Amino acid sequence: MIYDVAVVGAGAAGLMAAIFAGRGGARVAVVDGARKIGAKILISGGGRCNVTHDVVTPEDFNGNRNTIGRVLRTFSVEQTIAFFEEIGVALKREETGKLFPVTDRASTVLDALLRATREAGAEIMSGTRVKAIRTGSSFRLETNGVPLLASRVVLATGGQSVPKTGSDGHGFTIAHSLGHTVTETFPALVPLVIEEPHWIRDLTGTSADVELFVRSGSRRVLVRRRGAMLLTHFGVSGPVVLDISRHWIAARNEDRATTLVANFLPGDSAEELEKRLVAAGRRNPHGTVSSVLRGLVPERILSTLAPPTPLGRLEREERRRIALSLTELPIPVSRDRGFDYAEVTAGGVPLSEIESATMESRRCRGLYLCGEILDVDGRIGGFNFQWAWNSGRLAGLNCANLA
C-alpha cells in the first residue's frame, strides 16, 4: 500500500503535520519508534505542558531569525489558541505569559492531538522505528517491521534531548542520507554542573533572582539573562540557567576561558553596591552587609558571601571583595548536564536547506522537515512547542496540497 504522506515521528511537530495533511485529504500514516506515543509532551512543562507564550517573536529563538519569522507568521499565537480550543484544549495564561491547559495536565494536550490525528483520518503506528529511507518513484521507509511506501515524507524525528523518549538523533542520520547537512548539535535548556566542591552545591534548594552573563576570556560580556537561578546538589539550574546554557556551551566550545558570572543584585554594579554600603555604614555603623541587603538576596547566600562584620569596621578592601562576590560571582561550571537532562537540542538541519513557505526540503523533493530536527531552539516559556506547531502545520498543509 502506498500512502500519500508518511510522517516519521509522532511528537508535537509530527502530530500537527499528520492532522493538517489528513484534513487536506491526504492518506497519511504517522509512525513512531516509541511504543507509547507522546512521552515528551507528557513530561513537558513539569507535566503541565507549556503549550505556547502570549507573545512569540523571532527574537525568542536561536537560528536564522528571518526564516523563523516567516514560519511564525503563518500561524499566530491567537490561531494556536483557537486551534487547541477547537480540538478540546482550553488554555489559560499565567502571570509569566506562559500558556497551559486549564486542566494543568499535559495528557489533556496529548489526548486531544491524538484524537484530532485520528479524526483527520491519519493512521498512527507506534513501535515502528524507521531505520532508513530510500528514494525512487516513491519513498521506501525501512522499519523494524514491514517497509512502508509513501509519495511524500515528513521528517519530524525531533532532536537528541531526553533520548529515552524516542528522540535519539537517528533522524539526523536519515536527513543526512537524503542529502542534508547537520550542524554540530549540543544540549540547550540544560542545567549546568559544578564538579569541584563549592558552597553553591551545599545550598541545594535555594533560589535567587539573578542576572547571569557569559563572559569571554577577554572579559567581554557576550550574553545577559535575568531570572530565577536554583542552586542544586550538582550545580545550578532554574529558568535563567536553562536559558543561558546554550550560549555558555557555544562560547565555551570556542574559548575555554569563557566564564559564567552571576549578579545577585541585578542592575547594580560592584561600585554602586560599595557606595550603598558606605552610605549605610555612615547611617548605622553597627549594621551589616546582610542587614542592608535583607530581602534582596536570599539569607543563606548572604551568610555565605558576607561576613557579619559591622559596616563601620569593614576595611575598604574587604568591602570591595564582598561587593564583587555579590555582583560578579564567577560560577565554576565544568560542563553541562547532557542530553539526558536537556529540554532541547541546539543545531540540526540548517533552515537554509528548506523552503520556509512550505517546509519542503531543497535537497530532496517530496521530503518535508519540521520541529526540533531543524536548527532552531527557543528560550524557555512555550516557544519550542510553538515552533513545532507552526512548522508541523505548514509541512502538513503543503505536503497534502499535492495529494
Considering only residues 124 to 153 of the shown chain, the ones binding ligand FAD according to CB under 6 A are: 129-130
Strands (E), 80-175: 91-93, 98-101, 123-125, 130-134, 139-143, 148-155
Cell of 47: 507535566
Angle among Cα 292, 240, 51 to the nearest 5 degrees reads 135
Give 297's DSSP letter: B
Please spell the DSSP secondary structure of 158-219, one letter per residue: --SSSGGGT--SHHHHHHHHTT------EEES--EE--S--HHHHTTT-EEEEEEEEE-TT-
Q: Bridge-partner residues for 276, per DSSP?
A: none
Single out the residue of 384, 393, 395, 397 in contact with ligand FAD (rule: CB under 6 A).
384
37-40-44-46 Cα dihedral, nearest 10 degrees = 90
Q: How far is CA 238 from CA 235, 242, 249, in A?
A: 11, 6, 16
Does 397 help bind ligand FAD (rule: CB under 6 A)?
A: no
Does 50 help bind ligand FAD (rule: CB under 6 A)?
A: yes
Half-sphere exposure of 240 toward its Cβ, with a 13 Å CA cutoff? 24
Are the C-beta atoms of residues 368 and 153 closer than 8 Å to each other? yes
Single out the residue of 22, 24, 45, 235 in contact with ligand FAD (rule: CB under 6 A).
45
Cell of 208: 535567587
148-150-154-156 Cα dihedral, nearest 10 degrees = -10
Single out the residue of 4, 29, 32, 346 in contact with ligand FAD (rule: CB under 6 A).
32
Single out the residue of 210, 388, 394, 399 in contact with ligand FAD (rule: CB under 6 A).
388
Are the C-beta atoms of residues 204 and 239 closer than 8 Å to each other? no
Nearest approach, Cβ of 82 to ligand FAD (angstroms)? 18
| Site stretch for ligand FAD (CB under 6 A), options 4-12, 64-72, 233-241, 361-369 | 4-12
Does 390 help bind ligand FAD (rule: CB under 6 A)?
A: no
| Site stretch for ligand FAD (CB under 6 A), options 19-27, 161-169, 234-242, 274-282 | 161-169
Quick note: the x/- pattern for ligand FAD over 277-296, rule CB under 6 A, is --------------------
Look at residue 73 and give its three-state secondary structure. Answer: coil
Q: Which is nearer to ligand FAD, 264 or 387 (CB)?
A: 387
Does 12 help bind ligand FAD (rule: CB under 6 A)?
A: yes
Does 156 help bind ligand FAD (rule: CB under 6 A)?
A: yes
Does 118 help bind ligand FAD (rule: CB under 6 A)?
A: no
Nearest approach, Cβ of 73 to ligand FAD (angstroms)? 18
Nearest approach, Cβ of 85 to ligand FAD (angstroms)? 18
Nearest approach, Cβ of 300 to ligand FAD (angstroms)? 27
Single out the residue of 6, 18, 30, 49 in contact with ligand FAD (rule: CB under 6 A).
49
Q: How many helices (H) and strands (E) does the chain have?
A: 13, 21
Distance CA 279, CA 312 (A): 10
Q: Bridge-partner residues for 389, per DSSP?
A: none
Does 44 help bind ligand FAD (rule: CB under 6 A)?
A: yes
Q: Which is nearer to ligand FAD, 95 or 315 (CB)?
A: 95
Single out the residue of 20, 27, 40, 359 in contact with ligand FAD (rule: CB under 6 A).
40
Nearest approach, Cβ of 122 to ligand FAD (angstroms)? 15
- Please, is 136 exposed, middle or buried when counting C-beta atoms within 10 Å of its C-beta (0-12, 13-18, 19+)? exposed
Does 13 help bind ligand FAD (rule: CB under 6 A)?
A: yes
Does 251 help bind ligand FAD (rule: CB under 6 A)?
A: no
Does 160 help bind ligand FAD (rule: CB under 6 A)?
A: no
Considering only residues 342 to 371 of the shown chain, the ones binding ligand FAD according to CB under 6 A are: 343-344, 371
Single out the residue of 62, 157, 258, 263 in contact with ligand FAD (rule: CB under 6 A).
157
Considering only residues 169 to 188 of the shown chain, the ones binding ligand FAD according to CB under 6 A are: 170-171
Q: How many residues bind ligand FAD (CB under 6 A)?
A: 37
Distance CA 361, CA 104 (A): 37
Q: Which is nearer to ligand FAD, 43 or 222 (CB)?
A: 43
- CB neighbour list of residue 396: distance below 8 Å, 6 or more residues apart: 5, 7, 16, 17, 18, 19, 20, 21, 22, 23, 24, 154
Single out the residue of 80, 138, 161, 258 in contact with ligand FAD (rule: CB under 6 A).
161
Which residue ranges make up the site for ligand FAD (CB under 6 A)? Answer: 8-14, 31-34, 40, 43-45, 49-50, 129-130, 156-158, 161-162, 166-167, 170-171, 343-344, 371-372, 382-385, 388
